[in-house]
Amino acid sequence: MKMLAAAIAALLVAAPAEARELRVCADPNNLPFSNAREEGFENRIVRIVAEEIGAEVKYVWWAQRRGNVRETLNEGLCDLIPGVASSLEMLGTTRPYYRSAYVALSRSAHPVASFDDPRLAAMRIGVQLIGDDGSNSPPAHALSRRGMVANLKGYTVYGDYEDAAPQAAIVDAVAKGEVDLAFVWGPTAGYFARRAPQNLSIRPVQPLIDGPTLPMMFDISMGLRREDRELKREVEAALAKRAAEIRAILVDYGVPLLDRD
């Protein structure tokens, strides 16, 4: 009997503990943020977080379209969505791990960055459209209320999903001269501008807050279910501990970073 008990105990000791999983919902074709080959900067940051909390990443690939939070995180398909706006109310968010802004992207050595620059009136201007219904981005709103609707050409943030880099179209349009300049979300502009065949100028838009209710800069967090307080604590601790390494990744991908107060 003692020998049997000893044998069972030995087996239990030898059996490997079940690896902890961190289930992450991410877009499989959304560079520079993520893709199925895990080449995006969010993929790299998630890897750091998982390492710190002692987990293995298991991706749930899901196109980041309207309703994806409701259909994935809230349905229990995953535990974490990287790269969400800190102000997003439909989920819980960690403390921000970076802040970026919309930027003015152009070929000019003397770029326009202000929405109030009089030169804009004679320019073809690219803007991003957000959502399947073509909702306007903050710069599109800022320019529209200045009477420049006729100057604008829209590029959806979803792009052509058959392409390897759907969000690149607006940056390509600047490089090819289809538009004179474009107002683009900073991480997208910074990443694809580095891959353009010519040098492109990137400047944060001015003003960064257009009027009392139209911000052009946003804090970015990891998104979780509100009730997952312990996981939130762990993820925040990981982001804080590895903050310098995470910042280096963002810089490596060309993300324009703004200091957080």
Residues 92 and 136 in one domain: no
H/E element holding 169? helix 169-176
> Who wins on pLDDT, 15 or 34?
34
Residues 53 and 86 in one domain: yes
Q: Residue 145 pLDDT more than 90?
A: yes
* Residue 198 placed within a domain: yes
- 23 to each of 124, 140, 224, 241, how far by Cα in Å? 43, 35, 11, 21
* Residue 244 placed within a domain: yes
Quick one: pLDDT at residue 15? Answer: 44
Calpha distance 104→244 (Å, rounded) = 27
Quick check: 9 and 64 in contact, CB under 8 A?
A: no
Residues 120 and 80 in one domain: no
What mean pLDDT comes out for the span 29-33? 96
Determine how β-strand 125-130 pairs with β-strand 181-185: parallel
Residue span of the structural domain in which 128 resides = 100-204
* Residue 177 placed within a domain: yes
CATH number at residue 56: 3.40.190.10
Residues 189 and 160 in one domain: yes
> Who wins on pLDDT, 14 or 203?
203
Number of domains in the chain: 2
**10-14, 55-59, 188-192: least confidently modelled range:** 10-14
* Residue 258 placed within a domain: no
Q: Residue 16 pLDDT more than 60?
A: no
What mean pLDDT comes out for the span 155-166? 87
pLDDT digits (tens, 9 = 90+) for 51-86: 999 999 999 999 887 778 888 888 899 999 999 999
pLDDT digits (tens, 9 = 90+) for 228-238: 999 999 999 99
* Residue 48 placed within a domain: yes
Residues in the chain: 261
Any idea what the Cα angle at residue 259 is, between residues 183 and 206, rounded to 5°?
A: 30
Quick one: pLDDT at residue 29? Answer: 95
Q: Residue 50 pLDDT more than 60?
A: yes
Residues 110 and 173 in one domain: yes
* Residue 259 placed within a domain: no
pTM over 0.85: yes
Residues 90 and 60 in one domain: yes
* Residue 3 placed within a domain: no
Q: Write the DSSP assignment of 229-254 as a string of letters.
A: HHHHHHHHHHHHHTHHHHHHHHHHTT
Residues 116 and 194 in one domain: yes
Quick check: 191 and 40 in contact, CB under 8 A?
A: no
pLDDT digits (tens, 9 = 90+) for 104-121: 999 988 889 999 999 999
* Residue 72 placed within a domain: yes
Give me the half-sphere count of Cα atoms (radius 13 Å) on the Cβ side of residue 111.
Answer: 19
Residues 115 and 129 in one domain: yes
